[in-house]
Structure 1
Amino acid sequence: MFLIAALEGFKELWTTGRLSDITIVTDTEKFKVHKFALAMQSSVFTSIFENVMKDRPSDEIQMKNIDPEVAKTFLKFFYTGEVEIEEISNLLELFALAAKFKVETLMSIIEDMIIDDLNDDNAIEIYELACRFNCDGMKTSAFEFIQSMFDEPLKDELMNQPEVLKELVEAKQKINSILKKQKLG
């Protein structure tokens, strides 16, 4: 009973912004939020509030070059634990934001969503993201998916060479495109 009431209270704080004590500012939107909600799940926010803002008091944190919908989804997660996002590009941006602020729970949820959405068009982008943020599970899944695109197994050494792997996939896609055109023509 208590947990349900607490969750409803968190959701209400998110939707109303009541008692907020900090504003997150993107290029086009402002979000009134609560330091405690952000600090509970992010050591980076905790550090910002305890150290950086202690020296330079402000009631705003700038989040420039972040899609406002991605920022909204990111911040809403702190209050609801929910991730509602459809486009894979926004999901990848949300993952990068969660990694930047070390929101481990959100990273784990998004990682599962990304792995479920692996396809020929996004495998390399997902693989590069996994390499950049050192996500072994996502990296392995993307690498295995990329391997499945080829007739011959790729050498395991390629798993740590995203540039070479990207070139291989692009070459494979070009070959497939040419073969498809020849069949149609």
Structure 2
Amino acid sequence: MRGSEITNYLKEDSFMLECTLRLVKPVCVDARSKIVIVAPSDFYRSALYQQFMQFWITGKGADVAFKVSGEKITAHKKVLAMRSPVFRAQFFGPMIDSKSDCIKIEDMNPDVFRLMLQFVYTDSLPLQEEFSVEMAQHLLAAADRYGLERLKLICEEKLSANIDVETAATTLVLAEQHNCEQLKEICLHFVTSREKLQAVMASDGFSHLMESCPSIMKDLLGKLDSERRS
């Protein structure tokens, strides 16, 4: 804008700008229900959504194949690279694998990998009630492995909403191993509550917790002390 045009908007050597601000909170913890809450995605409203959905449904133009525990699953390198920093480095980074057109993955269930790819293409998963807590546990590990932070949060939401005496210790292990601080805090709060502690300690998951994450005992004792004082 030229100087002569600017003067048309000045009134007594000043002007006013009207702005609309949108505050986006992708994740928070509900202090009352102790559940991780993830904001809905706006991706489905974008022009790319239908195109990515068609890519996912038809597989047309797929240029990479994964052999996941013996099962072949095809995908598109550029779509994966756009969504995951790990795939981006694998396909287009300085350490690119010239044989990356067929990638073997032996330590993941095909259904977990397929559901992860569905999220990569569509930024969405089935409704919370349509996939199990066990699937959410596996998906959380996969999301952490491939740098899919929003998927991690969705899994945290699912797991935090389904914490009980049998799952609390196992979920705490996952939270500790995959750096899910909010989920970890919710688990600690549940485990150290007076009415739940003994039952959780008697569960199989608690034994697994002590074996796989002995360092968590410091956090448990700190939380117990805090609960006792309050």
When the two structures are superposed, what TM-score results if normalisation uses the length of structure 2? Answer: 0.62
- Within a 5 Å distance, the mapping from 1:73-152 to structure 2 comes to 73-84=115-126, 86-148=131-193, 149-150=196-197
How big is each residue's C-alpha offset from its partner over 1:70-125, in whole Å with a ceiling of 9 and x where there is no partner?
11100111111122352212211110011011111111111111111111111101
How big is each residue's C-alpha offset from its partner over 1:117-154, in whole Å with a ceiling of 9 and x where there is no partner?
11111110110111111211010001111112138xxx
User: Whole-Å Cα distance in 1 between the matches of residues 90 and 100 of structure 2?
Assistant: 11
When the two structures are superposed, what TM-score results if normalisation uses the length of structure 1? Answer: 0.76
User: Is 1:56 paired with 2:98?
Assistant: yes
User: What is the Cα-based RMSD across aligned positions, in Å?
Assistant: 2.7
- Residue identity (%): 27
Shift of 1:50: 1.9
Uncovered stretches (5+) of structure 1, i.e. residues with no partner = 152-158, 167-185
User: Whole-Å Cα distance in 2 between the matches of residues 122 and 133 of structure 1?
Assistant: 16
Give 1 or 2: higher helix fraction. 1
User: Is 1:13 paired with 2:55?
Assistant: yes
User: Whole-Å Cα distance in 1 between the matches of residues 45 and 172 of structure 2?
Assistant: 38
User: Whole-Å Cα distance in 1 between the matches of residues 94 and 169 of structure 2?
Assistant: 37
SS at match of 2:70: coil
Shift of 1:163: 5.8
Mapped contact 2:91–2:100 kept (Cα < 8 A): no
2:79 alignment counterpart: 37
Mark the CA change 1:96 to 1:88 in structure 2 (over 3 Å): closer, same or farther.
same
Uncovered stretches (5+) of structure 2, i.e. residues with no partner = 1-43, 199-212, 221-230
Mark the CA change 1:107 to 1:10 in structure 2 (over 3 Å): closer, same or farther.
same
Shift of 1:32: 1.2
Mark the CA change 1:163 to 1:62 in structure 2 (over 3 Å): closer, same or farther.
farther
Tell me the amino acid that sits aligned with residue 181 of structure 2.
Answer: D
